[in-house]
């Protein structure tokens, strides 16, 4: 039998949540100091103790989180399967090159233009969803991917040749994002704002209708919902976020080529939301973190085995790249078979199990 909730217990629970939130924010703010100085509170830490991670990997992870959030909103929440997500990244990167590198626009306007152009491209990519479903729609998103990457390749060769597309330093007024720490404190609140914005939109009426369309499109239509407009809205919002992430990705690397946005780049976002959990925005963050950081962790362990022999050396030293791919492939298969809800689904199962035990 569940205990009766009282105002005191509710206030205590709220206080604990705020305390944990404050602790999490403090740790996130202290993280770049630890990774930069390779020490915590004055105590030096080894590379293995830091899991072979650096601030650059963390920043790239934050950018990838934007892509994973946008794809999970489209696929996990709206039910529109797309494998053309790299096309929106490429759209944002190309828009940033035109408006920033060639036209000299300030960085905030470059991001805004990338988002607007990404939304327009998303609306075009979403038009086939008004007529086709399933595999045919997936193939149409793949066609958009190859078309956009081809345009980016032609643009690169016409204006910058094979050396890649250069990008101006990102500046917010007089403040230049010229160090990993500055990038971190710009990207972290941006990811938090996008996450909170998408979460709020899903709790609103239109967000609930969006998920109803995912679960049963005919029922949503029968309830008077214009699912065609809803699909295009979902595509526009998702692609706008992905295009902004593409602009950030290009600016952070300072030079990109069309090869950076290949089909494998698009597939990795699908793997992120499968591992994290379809339909879970929080799972998107976990999936992106695992996908981006696990290779560095494995490489760190592999470096410790440089003096080993036999099968250990064969796996961890001579075939390190293949081992990483094998682990990721097995991870995706295991989640698809045993935990289709991803990490978020496992978390819910564990929480429900403990809740049921506590209520007895």
Cβ distance 85 to 249 under 8 Å?
no
pLDDT of 89 reads: 96
The larger pLDDT score, comparing residue 354 to residue 333, is at 333
**CATH code for residues 52-358:** 1.10.3470
How far is CA 176 from its chain centroid?
A: 24
Mean pLDDT of 30-57: 91
The torsion of the CA quartet 275, 84, 118, 204, rounded to 10 degrees, works out to -50
Interval 46-80: pLDDT, tens = 888 888 899 999 999 999 999 999 999 999 998 88
- Lowest-confidence pick of 32-36, 228-232, 252-256: 228-232
Banded pLDDT at 295 (limits 50, 70, 90): confident
Banded pLDDT at 1 (limits 50, 70, 90): very low
Could you give the CA distance from residue 184 to residue 190 in angstroms, rounded to a whole number?
10
pLDDT of 328 reads: 75
Counting every residue, how long is the chain?
360
- By three-state DSSP, how is residue 260 classified? helix
Which residue, among 339, 200, 226, has the nearest Cα to 281 in the 3D structure?
A: 200
Residue 154, number of CB atoms within 10 A of its CB:
11
Q: Which single residue is written with the structure tokens 């770049």?
A: 32
pLDDT of 349 reads: 79
Percent of the chain with pLDDT over 90: 52
Interval 174-206: pLDDT, tens = 899 999 999 999 999 999 999 999 999 999 888
Q: What are the helix (H) ranges across the chain?
A: 7-37, 55-71, 85-96, 107-126, 134-159, 180-203, 205-215, 217-222, 227-253, 263-276, 281-304, 310-313, 320-338, 342-358
Give the H or E element holding residue 255. strand 255-256
Cα angle at 20 between 277 and 356, to 5 degrees? 60
Q: Where are the domains of the chain?
A: 52-358
pLDDT of 245 reads: 97
* Cβ neighbours for 198, distance < 8 A, ≥ 6 positions apart: 69, 73, 281
Interval 103-114: pLDDT, tens = 999 999 999 999
Q: Crossing angle of helices 205-215/227-253, nearest 10°?
A: 100
| Whole-model pTM over 0.85 | yes
The larger pLDDT score, comparing residue 8 to residue 324, is at 324
Could you give the CA distance from residue 70 to residue 358 in angstroms, rounded to a whole number?
36
- Lowest-confidence pick of 88-97, 100-109, 291-300: 291-300
DSSP state for residue 168 in the 8-state scheme: P
């Amino acid at each position: 039998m569940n205990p009766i909730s009282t105002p005191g217990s509710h206030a205590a629970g709220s206080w604990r949540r705020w305390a944990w939130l404050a602790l999490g924010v403090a740790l996130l703010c202290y993280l770049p100091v630890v990774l930069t100085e390779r020490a915590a509170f004055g105590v030096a830490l080894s590379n293995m103790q830091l899991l072979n991670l650096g601030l650059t990997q963390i920043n790239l992870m934050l950018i990838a989180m934007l892509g994973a959030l946008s794809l999970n909103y489209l696929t996990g929440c709206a039910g529109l399967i797309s494998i053309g997500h790299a096309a929106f990244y490429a759209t944002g990167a190309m828009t940033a090159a035109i408006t920033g590198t060639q036209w000299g626009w300030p960085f905030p306007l470059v991001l805004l233009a990338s988002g607007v152009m990404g939304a327009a491209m998303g609306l075009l990519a979403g038009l086939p969803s008004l007529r086709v479903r399933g595999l045919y729609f997936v193939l149409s998103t793949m066609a958009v991917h190859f078309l956009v990457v081809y345009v980016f390749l032609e643009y690169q060769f016409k204006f910058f040749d094979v050396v890649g597309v250069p990008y101006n330093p990102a500046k917010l007024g007089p403040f230049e994002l010229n160090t990993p720490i500055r990038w971190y404190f710009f990207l972290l609140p941006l990811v938090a704002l996008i996450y909170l914005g998408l979460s709020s939109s899903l709790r609103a009426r239109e967000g609930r209708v969006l998920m109803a369309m995912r679960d049963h499109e005919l029922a949503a239509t029968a309830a008077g919902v214009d699912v065609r407009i809803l699909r295009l809205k979902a595509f526009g919002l998702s692609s706008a976020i992905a295009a902004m992430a593409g602009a950030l990705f290009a600016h952070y690397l300072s030079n990109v080529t069309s090869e950076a946005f290949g089909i494998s780049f698009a597939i990795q976002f699908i793997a992120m939301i499968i591992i994290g959990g379809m339909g879970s925005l929080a799972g998107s963050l976990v999936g992106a973190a695992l996908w981006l950081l696990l290779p560095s962790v494995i490489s760190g362990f592999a470096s410790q085995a440089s003096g080993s022999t036999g099968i250990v050396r064969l796996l961890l030293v001579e075939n390190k790249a293949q081992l990483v791919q094998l682990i990721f492939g097995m991870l995706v298969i295991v989640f698809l078979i045993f935990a289709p809800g991803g990490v978020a689904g496992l978390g819910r199962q564990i929480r429900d199990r403990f809740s049921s035990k506590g209520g007895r």
